[in-house]
Amino acid sequence: MDIEKQLEVAAQSDHLVLIVFYADWSPHYEWIGPVLRTYERRVIELINVNIEENKTVADSHNIDTVPAFLLLHKGHELWRQVGELTIGELKEVLEDFK
């Protein structure tokens, strides 16, 4: 399933959706997947978007700097972070919106 379809399906669910925008040359956040798996019943869905391969998706969310993180619910933006993010910061945000 392509990224645009994943986002469309995720917007219809009751889950929170965390979108991580990255590029091959930017820091990778492999630790995010394990952090999200600590939440029960798939409360949060993770979608990784490479902005070089999915420029249309990045542009539609006004992303031009990576890394960038968006937390959405039913297609509505709840939170946005551009730049580095620590495990602690992510956990705090997820607890606030869970």
CATH number at residue 14: 3.40.30.10
Residue 73 domain boundaries = 1-95
Structural domains of the chain, count: 1
State pTM to two decimals. 0.87
User: Position of tokens 């606030």?
Assistant: 96
Q: Are 24 and 52 in contact (CB under 8 A)?
A: yes
Tokens 């798939």, residue located:
42
pLDDT, tens only, 78-97: 999 998 888 888 889 988 98
pLDDT tens sequence across 4-21? 899 998 888 888 999 999
Task: Report cis status (omega within 30 of 0) of the bond before 67.
Answer: yes
Q: Would you say residue 59 has pLDDT above 60?
A: yes
Average pLDDT over residues 39-48: 74
